[in-house]
Amino acid sequence: MPPGGARVTAVDYESLETRAAELAARFRGASPYPHLVFHQLLKPDVARALEAEFPAAVDDRWTHYHHYNNHTLGLTRLEAFPALTRQVTEELNSERFTSLLSRITGFPNLLADARLEGGGLHSTETGGFLNLHADFTNHHYHRNWQRRCNLILFLNTDWQEAWGGALELWERDLSACRVKVPVRNNTAVVFETARDTFHGYPDRLSNPAGTARRSLALYYYTQERKVLALSTNYRARPGESAGRRALIAVDRMALRLYTTVKERLGLSDDLASRLLRLFRR
């Protein structure tokens, strides 16, 4: 953080804007679905500072996504972010950055989500995982917002590949994993969000106790007259047992029911988090 709390510019816009056409071609031509990996999205000193100030997931401000398909923690309250992390999040949600992202992805007039619904800071501790899934496709509180793409920025310098946690991008028919994005500080991936853009890190992490897979996740939308509304669609990998497939499906249906209730009653994830912590104990 600069002296006196001065604001920083975290992204090298001049470089990215110069290469926007090239990056757009790479995004659209990528397999198994449109995506783009940035090996240094932020200026290196900013990325190091973000990693250093990443908060420990030790208080009730963190949402516990602990169920059969997901064992992670998330912090969506921007006011609880450390100062620089909040600045960078606001920059990645700014008009300048979303305009650049629109040029790269081809989705016009992208909208940033100031609520960080389902996104924000994510921390996955030892033994955590996230089963393969396609993300929810609409914003739960802006009914005419269609989700278009995700940005995930990793904030780990010393993460070992053997610990797992690489983000897997799978074929749309779930026949095979095609891309693994490594957990590496300042590596970011932007990918399309659709009903069949399956991804996750389904194997339990084996990192040492006291460490965590850490990331910042931001989701971008377009405003539409008609929106495809689907909840998170968890799926099994090829070759997994019938019992595991059944449990994944039951959990998926429970999540779909929860999402429906959440939208109709205007609930936040805090209530679900408290219930999940209670069941965990």
Tens digit of pLDDT for each residue in 217-254?
Answer: 999 999 999 999 999 999 999 999 999 999 999 999 88
Task: Decide if 70 is inside a domain.
Answer: yes
Q: How far is it, in rounded angstroms, from Cα 212 to Cα 159?
A: 9
Task: Decide if 246 is inside a domain.
Answer: yes
Tell whether omega for the bond before 82 is within 30 degrees of 0, i.e. cis.
no
Q: Which of the residue ranges 30-34, 115-119, 174-178, 272-276 would you say has the lowest mean pLDDT?
A: 272-276
Position with higher pLDDT, 253 vs 48:
48
Interstrand relation of 145-154 and 63-67 (parallel, antiparallel or unpaired): unpaired
Total number of domains in the chain: 1
**DSSP E strand stretches across 62-170:** 63-67, 70-75, 111-112, 120-125, 129-134, 145-154, 167-170
Task: Decide if 2 is inside a domain.
Answer: no
Q: Which of the residue ranges 86-100, 106-120, 242-256 would you say has the lowest mean pLDDT?
A: 242-256
**In this structure, what CATH number is given to the domain that contains residue 248?**
2.60.120.620
Output the pLDDT for position 83.
96
Output the pLDDT for position 275.
54
Domain extent at residue 221: 7-280
Q: How far is it, in rounded angstroms, from Cα 229 to Cα 143?
A: 9
Closest CA to 75 of 280, 210, 216: 216
For 178-219, how does the pLDDT look when each residue is reduced to its tens digit (9 = 90+)?
999 999 999 999 999 999 999 999 999 999 999 999 999 999
Output the pLDDT for position 3.
45
Is the per-residue pLDDT at 6 higher than 90? no
Rounded mean pLDDT, 75-95: 97
Q: How far is it, in rounded angstroms, from Cα 181 to Cα 153?
A: 11
Contact 110, 102 (CB under 8 A): yes
Task: Decide if 187 is inside a domain.
Answer: yes
Task: Decide if 165 is inside a domain.
Answer: yes
Helix 95-105 to helix 20-29 angle, to the nearest 10 degrees?
50
Task: Decide if 1 is inside a domain.
Answer: no
